[in-house]
Amino acid sequence: MTMLYKLKYLRIMLAAAALTFALCISAQDEYWHQRVTLFDKLPVESAHIVMLGNSITDGGEFSELFNNENVINRGIRNDVIKGVEKRLGQVTSGHPSKIFLLIGINDISHNLTVDRLASDYEHLVKEIRRQSPESRLYIQSVMPVNNDFKRYKNLTGKEKTIMELNKRLETIASRNGAVFIDLTKALSDSCGKLNKAYTNDGLHLTGAGYKTWAKTIRPYIEE
């Protein structure tokens, strides 16, 4: 294979990779827009308990898990802290009774520092408190991951970042009048990884995982 041919081949492969990446981003944006426009048609009310977050929240059937039609889902796959803040008005305008926030793992995968993550997160929390001070806010810890599945390369080696961010989230909750809920113990195995009984990809939850999550936060849902 000549050097010229190698260069042409490399350019083709790079172009194909860029196109694939662009298509993935476009698909994510489309899904985010689809969910946001749906939520525009489903206004939040004061009696609602809102589950707010990314794909882990998106996948949950919370009204059935809690046998409570007032527990509603406002999760969007691939969402990040800034994405939640951008659509926050859909939630806070209805001044729901409670908001359960679970966000941050996608931000961690983007290689942001803990300081940056904590700063962005606290800005979001302050906006929630400002826009809907009547709502009881529950900050849930970022869930553990299990990189044994080797599925999400951008989360490889991020276990320490997750732990450090969760420590910061507990402090953020304390100084902003929110309740911190640590999900780590309930969902982890003896090594601190997301229990394989609760996941099939190392990040997202299976049915057993959702049942365990629901069991952990049920006292806060019902209080």
Domain containing 134 equals 44-222
Take residue 110 and report the two structure tokens written for it: 């983007």
129-166 pLDDT tens trace: 999 999 999 999 999 999 999 999 999 999 999 999 99
Counting every residue written for the chain, the total comes to 223
Q: What is the pLDDT of residue 45?
A: 98
Q: What is the pLDDT of residue 21?
A: 35
Same-domain check for residues 127 and 150? yes
Cα 30 from Cα 110, distance rounded (Å)? 20
Same-domain check for residues 178 and 98? yes
47-62 pLDDT tens trace: 999 999 999 999 999 9
Same-domain check for residues 68 and 152? yes
Residue 216 clears pLDDT 80, i.e. is over it: yes
Same-domain check for residues 25 and 123? no
Q: What is the pLDDT of residue 29?
A: 84
Q: What percent of the chain has pLDDT over 70?
A: 87
What pTM does this model have?
Answer: 0.87
**Other CB atoms within 10 Å distance of the CB of residue 160:** 9
193-212 pLDDT tens trace: 999 999 999 999 999 999 99
Same-domain check for residues 57 and 156? yes
Question: Quick one: 173 exposed, middle or buried, by C-beta within 10 A (0-12, 13-18, 19+)?
Answer: buried
Same-domain check for residues 57 and 15? no
Question: Quick one: 207 exposed, middle or buried, by C-beta within 10 A (0-12, 13-18, 19+)?
Answer: exposed
Number of domains comprising the chain: 2
Same-domain check for residues 79 and 16? no
Same-domain check for residues 1 and 27? yes
The CATH number of residue 145's host domain is 3.40.50.1110
The angle that helices 114-131 and 159-175 make with each other, rounded to 10 degrees, is: 30
| Amino acid residing at 158 | K
